[in-house]
Amino acid sequence: MTPPGTQHRSDDPDGTVAQLESLAERVLAARRPGDAVEIVLSHSRGTSVRVHDGAVESLTSSDSSGAGVRVVRDGRLGFAHCGSLDLDVLLGTLEAASDNCTFGEPDPHNGLVEPDGVPVVPQQGWTPAVEQRSAEQRIATALELERLVTGRDPRVVAARSTTYGDASSTSVIMSTTGVRAGERSSSSSVSTQPMARSGDETQIGASYDAARDPADLDLHRVADEAVERATRLLGARKPPSGRLTVVLEPRLALGLLGIVSGMLSGDAVVKGRSPFADRRGEVIAAPCITLWDDPTRQESLGAEEVDGEGLATRPNQLIADGRLVDFLRDGYVGRRTGEGSTASAVRGARSLPGIGAQVLVMSPGTRDLDELVATIDHGLFVNSLSGLHSGVNAVSGDFSVGADGLVIRDGALAEPVRELTLASTLQRLLLDVREVGGDATWLPSGHRGASLVIDDVAASGA
Amino acid sequence: MPTDAIPLLDQDVVGRVIAAALTRGGDFAEVFVEDKQSSSALLDDGRVEELSSGRDRGAGIRVVVGESTGFAHTSDLSELGLLEAARTAAAAARGAGAGGVAAALVPTAGTARTSAAIPPGEVAKARKVELLLAADGHARSTGGAITQVTARYADSHRRILVANSDGVLAGDDQVRTLFSVSCVASGDTGMQTGRESVGRTVGFELFDDHDVTELAGNAARRALSKLAARPAPSGERTVVIGPGGGGVMFHEACGHGLEADLVAKGASVFAGRMGEQVASSLVTLVDDGTMDGEWGGASIDDEGRPTRRNVLIQDGVLVDYMWDTLRARADGRAPSGNGRRQSYQHLPMVRMTNTYLVGGSSSPDEIVADTADGVYIAHLGGGQVNTATGDFVFGMTEAYLIEDGRITEPLREGNLIGNGPAVLAAIDAVGNDFAMGSPGTCGKDGQGVPVGDGVPTLRVASGLTIGGTAA
């Protein structure tokens, strides 16, 4: 059985996508009459290397399969997943999903998406370079990074761990409502956590990079950043409490806006869990903030041709010059609000889709980081934030996190501080942004971030 | 015999797979087989949204040569599939040439009860749905200010078999059941949330001892009370932590720092301090995987070693770290039953199980009455630690001011920050009302495992900074 309305398929030179598609077709063909069924299949092979003190600590060879089946019948939803691509197991999973369907309560908005005519923006997510890497090359990359890290500064005595990893994945999504899409993708990454010592004190820094092709990994940048983050905190003390101006580097700015994007999820909006639910068209942030979710951007490592329900991804503007433009929707919320999906379903094969931003893109300001710091009399340049999961509440907006960093005094970076908290509310933080940096960068997380300067944040210390 | 109860793999096949793993040499080889079935049901927005179920099975095989480990995993549990994974692991271990030797397999049994009296898989799905509806109804009945309720039921049945070249052959059958309720309350000041959960390493009999409407009521009360909450203070305060809810603090303040793998790398502030006073003499800290039915417990760890009750800090003195097989081998001692992994796709490492502070002698009421000014934390959220510096944070999800020895106004949520050794030294009262806390998931190097914790009422006189906005 081939569903109508065939969508898109990436390059598939050796037929790995076609193999999964044919498996998916066989499962869909076995569905109960009247069931609407969606199946996601994925297969991934990867290698990861962890090195320590010039030697391999572990070398892992992984081969993972996953499948998820969603069934909708009479407005009821059931889901089942498994870690296998054996046809028998998949048919059992279909049956389990269909049985689970019996117990959910009906909702007229439950259903599966139908292709909505938005064309796919092709992505080059796959390269043969990953699979062509030898074990020796993979190990050599990790060891090289560790050498760079431990050779940068005499105070860096070791790295807690240094890793290299890569993977090649294939996935397909197919449904009885006409969705049919397949993608291959490759990824590679390196990470390191150097430890800097001075007397009895130890500070850990961290950095990582990711790329489609391992040859594009920037080991020197990772080593520089990680070492700087460890060494610049040596001698840090607990500062006094007070209100100050905070500077967040692009990666930390993105961490903050990532939480905000979750509050703009249509699911939170329709279920009364977003403080921004009734604010569309209103000013929710400083006028310097413009934010998109755009998974079509080829420069991004997070770029995808289709979302977790198989619809072509598309650019969605969330905030324009501080004004709330739109929320993110999946098929369910699109039907419930009558506005359609924004193709913002995110998922793994083993989970039901949820709504999330895929590739956040911040519009940059003009001044670089040094110029921003020079404008601040009394502030904090943040090195790291902790407790983002335990002290930030996306429903109430309460925001309270641990921090360390460098004091900004009279327009220049000064002494290091640690063991302090930063607190505000997410609503206030957005309005208190004074400036966005001109240093917009594509981050290894796939997002495009720029520095943020935020005024009047409560810092709690001694 | 545990392996009879868990026929995941024939013993002869296990032996051949270990032998294959050692064909290129190696000091140690292990096969870990896992078959995990899970199911969950979610109620949100007044409606049972969906039921889910899943099954994952496979094997992870590792070969250790010196300090280096080769690891491969497969979802193919046929002998051919396992042998291929064993060869891949052996190649990854870059063995020292000659074949390694495996000891004969000797089945061992664990000590904790981890099986279920009522297997959740045998309970009708409709019964699980009833629990969700009861929780939702009760939470909403507490008042119109409760504007949203999410209730979730989840169970898992994890069967494992572990065998290694030291002759270990062990299996376990681990059933866990979890129920959680989250509420949103809305008022003039905006929205607030409250959550409550219960989870144990037991079957559906969980609900014989735990009433889901009571959970729902607690979650709702927590959300409602915060509608009138004032901003938390900022700066250092004396903190009293209520029974049960505060184990997360010890998990972060010193638990991770007592993991032998971090200690060996010099990434712990507790490295090199064995035998020293590292905490107030009121502190006796235990990690105990054998606790009957507790969320972080199991009969054996994920390296096939029986779990144990391990005293880590005795009367303030550091007496032991936690160990997995590799760290224990390197130090020439026995493992402590703390080698755990998220799944067959992951390597084991040193992890906590159920970590708790042993109860003291003070009356909890007197501890509060004896506190002139401070903050009372009834319920904590998660936390995070930098083990190298000992700096840690944890969230407070239900907290009040203490004024003149009395618990007064509710506070909004936030994090607290402190330094492990400083906070442990500043504990000046420990109550006699020990209780275990909520089920947790501990993350380390990308792997999540279930953990439990518990504390009696305790007071930290100094060293904790409240991350609020009020002066």
Q: H or E element: which one contains A38?
A: strand A36-52
Residue B215 has pLDDT above 80, yes or no: yes
Which residues on chain A are in Cβ contact (under 8 Å) with B465?
238, 419-421, 460-462
**A150 within some domain:** yes
Instruction: List, in sequence order, the alpha helices (H) in B404-457.
Output: 420-425
> In sequence order, what are the beta bridge partners of A386?
A402
Domain ranges within chain B, ordered by starting residue = 2-227, 234-467
What is d(CA A342, CA A317) in angstroms, rounded to the nearest whole number? Answer: 10
Half-sphere exposure of A121 (CA within 13 A, CB side): 13
**Residue B247: what pLDDT?**
86
Instruction: Give the model's confidence band at A6: pLDDT under 50 very low, under 70 low, under 90 confident, else very high.
Output: very low
**A1 within some domain:** no
**Residue A462: what pLDDT?**
87
Instruction: List, in sequence order, the alpha helices (H) in B112-238.
Output: 125-141, 206-209, 212-227
What is d(CA B62, CA B161) in angstroms, rounded to the nearest whole number? Answer: 14
Residues of B (6-45) whose Cβ lies below 8 Å from A: 41, 44-45
Per-residue pLDDT of A220-233, as tens digits, reads 999 999 999 999 99
Number of domains in chain A: 2
**A148 within some domain:** yes
Interface test with A, best of B52, B150, B385 (most A CBs within 10 A): B52
Per-residue pLDDT of B156-211, as tens digits, reads 999 999 999 999 999 999 999 999 999 999 999 899 999 999 999 999 999 999 99
Work out the average pLDDT over B47-70. 95
Confirm or reject contact between A462 and chain B (CB < 8 A): yes
Q: Are residues A49 and A189 in the same domain?
A: yes
Q: Are residues A216 and A245 in the same domain?
A: no
Distance from CA of B183 to the nearest CA of A (A): 10
Which residues on chain A are in Cβ contact (under 8 Å) with B68?
55-59
Please check whether residue B407 is in contact with residue B377, taking contact to mean a CB–CB distance below 8 angstroms: no
Give the residue from A197, A226, A255 where a domain finishes.
A226
The residue to which tokens 């320590």 are assigned:
A52
**Residue B178: what pLDDT?**
98
Q: Are residues A240 and A221 in the same domain?
A: no
In the CATH hierarchy, which top-level class contains the domain B2-227? alpha beta
Per-residue pLDDT of A425-445, as tens digits, reads 999 999 999 999 999 999 999
Residues of A (199-258) whose Cβ lies below 8 Å from B: 201-204, 238, 241
Work out the average pLDDT over B68-73. 96
Work out the average pLDDT over B285-305. 96
**A450 within some domain:** yes
Q: Which of B49, B126, B267 has its CB closest to that of A160?
A: B267
Mean pLDDT, chain B, whole residue set: 94
User: Between the CA of residue B380 and those of A16, A197, A395, B399, what are the distances in Å?
Assistant: 48, 33, 17, 9
Confirm or reject contact between A402 and chain B (CB < 8 A): yes
CATH at residue A45: 3.30.2290.10
What is d(CA B327, CA B329) in angstroms, rounded to the nearest whole number? Answer: 5
Residues shown for chain B = 471
**% of chain B at pLDDT higher than 70:** 96
**A231 within some domain:** no
Mean pLDDT, chain A, whole residue set: 95
Residue A107 has pLDDT above 80, yes or no: yes
Q: Which of B125, B388, B412 has its CB closest to that of A103?
A: B125
In 3D space, the residue among A299, A211, A267, A308 whose CA is nearest the CA of residue A394 turns out to be: A267
Half-sphere exposure of B35 (CA within 13 A, CB side): 11
**A200 within some domain:** yes
Residue B5 has pLDDT above 70, yes or no: no
Residues of B (232-291) whose Cβ lies below 8 Å from A: 232, 234-236, 262, 265-267, 269
What is d(CA B449, CA A144) in angstroms, rounded to the nearest whole number? Answer: 32
Which residues on chain B are in Cβ contact (under 8 Å) with A204?
267, 386, 388-389
Q: Which of A203, A391, A397 has its CB closest to that of B467?
A: A391
Give the residue from A203, A226, A249 where a domain finishes.
A226
Per-residue pLDDT of B320-333, as tens digits, reads 999 999 999 999 99
Please check whether residue B60 is in contact with residue B35, taking contact to mean a CB–CB distance below 8 angstroms: no
Q: Are residues A304 and A268 in the same domain?
A: yes
Residue A370 has pLDDT above 70, yes or no: yes
**Residue B115: what pLDDT?**
75
Q: How far is CA B48 from the centre of its chain?
A: 28
Per-residue pLDDT of B362-410, as tens digits, reads 999 999 999 999 999 999 999 999 999 999 999 999 999 999 999 999 9
Give Rg (Cα) of chain B.
24
Per-residue pLDDT of A35-72, as tens digits, reads 999 999 999 999 999 999 999 999 999 999 999 999 99
Per-residue pLDDT of B246-292, as tens digits, reads 889 999 999 999 999 999 999 999 999 999 999 999 999 999 999 98
**A87 within some domain:** yes
ipTM score here?
0.93
Which residues on chain A are in Cβ contact (under 8 Å) with B466?
421, 460
Residue A31 has pLDDT above 80, yes or no: yes
The range of the structural domain enclosing residue A162 comes to: 8-226
Distance from CA of B390 to the nearest CA of A (A): 10
Per-residue pLDDT of B306-317, as tens digits, reads 999 999 999 999
Work out the average pLDDT over A259-275. 97
What is d(CA B137, CA B48) in angstroms, rounded to the nearest whole number? Answer: 12
Q: Are residues A200 and A181 in the same domain?
A: yes
Residue A2 has pLDDT above 90, yes or no: no
Q: Do B47 and A395 touch (CB under 8 A)?
A: no
Q: Do A350 and B465 touch (CB under 8 A)?
A: no
Per-residue pLDDT of A72-106, as tens digits, reads 999 999 999 999 999 999 999 999 999 999 999 99
Instruction: Give the model's confidence band at B111: pLDDT under 50 very low, under 70 low, under 90 confident, else very high.
Output: low
Pairing mode, strands B339-340 and B349-350 = antiparallel
Instruction: Give the model's confidence band at A13: pLDDT under 50 very low, under 70 low, under 90 confident, else very high.
Output: low
Which residues on chain B are in Cβ contact (under 8 Å) with A77?
49-50
**% of chain B at pLDDT higher than 90:** 89
Which residues on chain A are in Cβ contact (under 8 Å) with B92?
59-61, 135
Residue A354 has pLDDT above 90, yes or no: yes
Q: Do B54 and A80 touch (CB under 8 A)?
A: yes
Q: Are residues A275 and A294 in the same domain?
A: yes
Q: Map residue A411 onto helix, strand or coil.
A: coil
**Residue B471: what pLDDT?**
72
The residue to which tokens 């997380």 are assigned:
A445
Residue B298 has pLDDT above 60, yes or no: yes
What is d(CA B415, CA B380) in angstroms, rounded to the nearest whole number? Answer: 9
Q: Do A61 and B72 touch (CB under 8 A)?
A: yes
> In sequence order, what are the beta bridge partners of B300?
B306
How does DSSP assign A55-85, residue by residue?
EEEEEEEEEEEEEEEEEEETTEEEEEEES--
Q: Map residue A447 onto helix, strand or coil.
A: coil
**Residue B470: what pLDDT?**
87
Q: Do A195 and B234 touch (CB under 8 A)?
A: no
> In sequence order, what are the beta bridge partners of A382?
A405
Give the residue from A169, A196, A226 where a domain finishes.
A226
Residues of B (428-467) whose Cβ lies below 8 Å from A: 445, 465-467
Q: Map residue A391 onto helix, strand or coil.
A: coil
Q: Do B234 and A423 touch (CB under 8 A)?
A: yes
Structure tokens at B270: 């507790």
What is d(CA B295, CA B301) in angstroms, rounded to the nearest whole number? Answer: 13
Residues of A (102-121) whose Cβ lies below 8 Å from B: 102-105, 107
**Residue B113: what pLDDT?**
63
Q: Which residue of B has its CA nearest to A399?
A: B414
Q: Do A422 and B467 touch (CB under 8 A)?
A: yes
User: Between the CA of residue B134 and those of A94, B128, B151, B198, what are the distances in Å?
Assistant: 29, 10, 10, 16
Per-residue pLDDT of B339-355, as tens digits, reads 999 999 999 999 999 99
Distance from CA of B65 to the nearest CA of A (A): 10
Interface test with A, best of B67, B73, B192, B415 (most A CBs within 10 A): B415
Q: Which residue of A has its CA nearest to B35?
A: A83
Residues of A (278-337) whose Cβ lies below 8 Å from B: none
**Residue B97: what pLDDT?**
62
How does DSSP assign B245-307, residue by residue?
TTHHHHIIIIIGGGBHHHHHTT--TTTT-TTSB-S-TT--EEEETTSTT-TT--SB-TTSPBP
